[in-house]
Amino acid sequence: MIYRIYRENGRRYIPIKFSVQGHDLASTMTDVQTRLARQVRMPQTYHYEWAGEYDSLTRETRRLEIVVPLNLAVILVLLYIALGSWADAAVILAALPFGIVGGVLSLFVTRTPFSISAAVGFASVFGVATLGGLVFLHGIRHAQKHAAERTEGIRAGALGEIRPVTMAFLAAALGLLPAAVSSGIGAQAQQPLARVVVGGMLTTSVAIPFLIPVLASLLKPGHSARGRGQA
């Protein structure tokens, strides 16, 4: 095997390149690092550094650990501004975990490793699920204003919004279905995102029509009075 020695900042280094096939990058690198720590003893003044795609994945993962919670906090505040009720905002956020479950199940069933593309897919699921939940709950609160009984308003609002909200979720899922099952050039980059969105949209389309009416019925009228006044 022939090595080429390079120099950077007055120090010599030897790049060793390899590719990963048949396994996801994160678990492969964890296995490699564990074996190196057990079996390889570096001479004094020598050390190794990980670069390339794994280094990018590590940086992006750390960035997502900050960005995702921050985005959820911003979504919660915007929902409060739109609805005028922290309780109603929390009701919509309660539907987001179902999108996560659908995305994770989709990756698991198709044996697709988690990647930055998949993380972007989860962010897309959050956005569409939030919008769908907002429209659904807004329709319920609007129907409650004109209903004689609270339960009747919830039922009428849910029945009125279930069709457009479900159609929006299914349209997003069907739109990315070809990318989720494609195998052509560039499929490796787009498949994780598409599969997460397809799985997340399917579970969210089932969860929201059942979850939001139930949670909305459990809220006391005083907790969402301002939201109903703005509906």
Q: Is residue 217 in some structural domain?
A: yes
CB neighbours of residue 129 within 10 Å = 28
Task: Give the Cα separation of 112 and 194 in Å (integer).
Answer: 11
From first to last of its 231 residues, the chain has per-residue pLDDT tens of 456 777 777 777 777 777 766 666 666 777 777 887 788 787 777 777 777 777 777 787 788 788 888 888 988 898 888 888 888 899 999 999 999 999 999 999 988 888 788 888 998 999 999 999 999 998 888 888 888 787 888 888 888 899 999 999 999 999 989 888 887 766 677 888 999 999 999 999 999 999 999 988 887 544 443 444 443
Residue 12 backbone dihedrals phi, psi, to 5 degrees: -90, 145
| Global confidence as pTM | 0.72
Q: Is residue 107 part of a domain?
A: yes
The CB-based long-range contact list for 158-162 (8 Å cut-off, 24+ gap) reads 158/209, 158/212, 158/213, 161/135, 161/136, 162/136, 162/209
Inside any domain, residue 16: no
Residue 21 is assigned to a structural domain of this protein: no
Q: How many domains does the chain have?
A: 1
Residue at 146 is within a domain: yes
